[in-house]
Amino acid sequence: MRGMTSLFSAERIFALSASHPDQITIEVVAETGSTNADLLARIQTAHASDTLSTPALLIAEQQTAGRGRAGRTWLSAPSAALMFSLAWRFDLPLHKMVGLPLAVGVAIVTALNAYLAQASGDPATDVGIRLKWPNDLLLAGAKLGGILIETTSANCVNGERNAWAVIGVGINIAMPTDMQQQLGRSVANLPVPANFDRDALMAELLRGLTQALQQFQQHGLGAFVARWNQLHAHAGQQVVILDQGKVLHEGTALGIDEIGRFLLQTAPDAQPVAIMAGDISLRVKET
């Protein structure tokens, strides 16, 4: 483990996470362009086998070139958000990892709720964090965070190809008002308690992610579908599906199916339309 002088402590996160793989690299940096880009570059480096033979967690206090889905920019300010990426190797072909963002969303919301419940002393605490298909976290209808997963493969020491997922997560903690105005949309901050402990929160997220990724390796998305649908922010609501601003479909949001397609009831007697994730957007229909 490596750490820099920071509000985060790599050593403490490792110790608090408890349910982590036997070997994991945790690194904290004050600033970088993109934690996803950094880990992807390491995977593709010719000599990366000794650096990324095991999972690697990279946490940044500030990202200057953070990315969202479809190449969009992720805006952030120092200490305003929790920003990290986790590189994880799977013994799966890349096409089997299509539903991974949905499984990760379930793990992130579950871990956030677990931390907030523990910090409040009330195990029944549920502040209402929900999932927006395909990769956003919402709180009271506003964006709390996002998930960006990039997959690649690289040679390992025995000459075989390994499938890697680099899981990038951004969660708003204290987004400045001027930056919210710059974004031009409603933004939520995590309702942190008075005794907020960023290391403990990061450890809870790491623990939840490692358990979820191991489960995804063994059982795929099917193990997460019911939980995702329970956390679905738009269940039963009228929504529209947009592609570059053009309406593709509109109807009642149902949830996801076993392979991660979004199900939309477009007419009472029609079969639900199944939509694959891509460069499309979901919006609540205005009435």
Residue 161: per-residue pLDDT: 60
Q: Report the alpha-carbon distance of residue 283 to residue 152 in Å, rounded.
A: 30
Residues 90, 205, single domain; the answer is yes
Inside any domain, residue 3: no
Alpha-carbon dihedral sign for residues 127, 255, 170, 139: negative
- In the structure, what pLDDT confidence band is assigned to residue 181 with cuts at 50, 70 and 90? low
How many domains is the chain partitioned into structurally? 2
User: Would you call 219 helix, strand, or coil by DSSP?
Assistant: helix
Inside any domain, residue 2: no
Residue 86: per-residue pLDDT: 97
Give the mean model confidence (pLDDT) for residues 225-237: 96
Percent of the chain with pLDDT over 90: 54
Residues whose CB falls within 8 Å of the CB of residue 156, separated by 6 or more in sequence, listed in order: 49, 53, 162
Residues 268, 222, single domain; the answer is no
Comparing 5-19, 77-91, 134-148, 257-271, the range with the smallest average pLDDT is: 5-19
Residues 38, 139, single domain; the answer is yes
- In the structure, what pLDDT confidence band is assigned to residue 180 with cuts at 50, 70 and 90? low
Residues 247, 196, single domain; the answer is no
Residues 256, 160, single domain; the answer is no
Residues 171, 268, single domain; the answer is no
The residue ranking higher by pLDDT, 194 or 225, is 225
Residues 209, 193, single domain; the answer is yes
Question: Does pLDDT of 5 surpass 80?
Answer: no
Tokens of residue 198, six digits: 């960023």
Residues 14, 131, single domain; the answer is yes
Inside any domain, residue 5: no
Inside any domain, residue 175: yes
The residue ranking higher by pLDDT, 77 or 89, is 89
**129-167 pLDDT tens trace:** 999 998 999 999 999 999 999 998 765 544 456 689 999
Query: Across-strand partners of 165?
Result: 88, 151
**240-260 pLDDT tens trace:** 888 877 888 899 999 999 999
Q: Are strands 25-32 and 56-63 parallel, antiparallel or unpaired?
A: parallel
For residue 203, give the CATH number of its domain: 3.30.930.10
Question: Does pLDDT of 2 surpass 50?
Answer: no
For residue 275, give the CATH number of its domain: 2.30.30.100
Comparing 23-27, 33-37, 224-228, 274-278, the range with the smallest average pLDDT is: 274-278
Contact 63, 35 (CB under 8 A): yes
Residues 54, 111, single domain; the answer is yes
**105-135 pLDDT tens trace:** 999 999 999 999 988 888 888 899 999 998 9
Residues 42, 148, single domain; the answer is yes
Inside any domain, residue 31: yes
Residue 116: per-residue pLDDT: 93
Percent of the chain with pLDDT over 70: 81
- In the structure, what pLDDT confidence band is assigned to residue 62 with cuts at 50, 70 and 90? confident
Question: Does pLDDT of 4 surpass 50?
Answer: no
Inside any domain, residue 216: yes
Domain that holds residue 258: 235-284
Contact 213, 20 (CB under 8 A): no
Residue 54: per-residue pLDDT: 83
Question: Does pLDDT of 3 surpass 50?
Answer: no
Of 275, 190, 193, 204, give the one whose Cα is nearest residue 234.
275
Q: What is the mean pLDDT of the chain?
A: 84
Inside any domain, residue 184: yes
Q: Give the domain-ending residue among 183, 209, 229.
A: 229
**187-222 pLDDT tens trace:** 899 999 888 999 999 999 999 999 999 999 999 999
